Amino acid sequence: MTTAAVEHGHGPGDEHDHDDGHEEVIYRETTDMRLLGFVLFLCSDVVLFSAFIFAYLYLRGTVDEWPPILNGHQLPRLDLPFAEFNSIVLFGSGVTMHHALENWKHGKVGRFDFFMGFTIVLGVMFLGGQGYEYSHAAIGGWSGSIFGASFFTLTGMHGFHVFCGVVYLAILWWQTKQKHYDQTHYFGLTAGTLYWHFVDVIWVALFFLFYIF
């Protein structure tokens, strides 16, 4: 340490504190940029789903009867009670994911593990329910009717996003065990929570379109 540093009251620890403060500023700026990039990614996904939804609405407008008539018989409506149950499963996973993040912020690792694991289980349950519905929906198959093509395309695309989300959350959970995050640096968990809420919101639109409207 130089004499000038002593005269100005700078000790050895000051340089270390300055470095820590500088690193924290860089981390916050990087986090802001990553969050912006992730939000833009979600916005691009909104555009993707919107394009398919508007295509579905256009196709529906070209048919007099809905569900459409196939081979002389009107197709049945989808199973609303089962879809309501499966929707509760997915929306419930959004609640558990929120609690997982909040418990991580407050250092409650045990409760975080519980809610994170529960979120993943509910996501898998939703996918299983969707697979069950696919095997029982008598709407003409993927290429049998406009209704079937629209339903399987849009809900299949959403299901793929849920599957990716389940994998993403499992990786984040593993990363917490590897000490990649702490109670001040946890951007990955924030991004995972935003993504999971995104698939919830998209399902609200699809549920209304295919089961109620």
What is the rounded radius of gyration, in angstroms, for the C-alpha atoms of the chain? 24
Per-residue pLDDT at 25: 55
Per-residue pLDDT at 30: 75
CA 208 to chain centroid: 19
Question: Mean pLDDT in each 10-residue stretch from start to end of the chain (213 residues)?
Answer: 42 49 60 88 96 94 85 88 97 98 96 98 98 89 82 96 98 96 92 97 97 92
Per-residue pLDDT at 85: 97
E strands of 33-90, at which residues?
Answer: 69-70, 73-74
SS3 label, residue 74: strand
Query: Domains in the chain, please, with CATH?
Result: 17-212 (1.20.120.80)
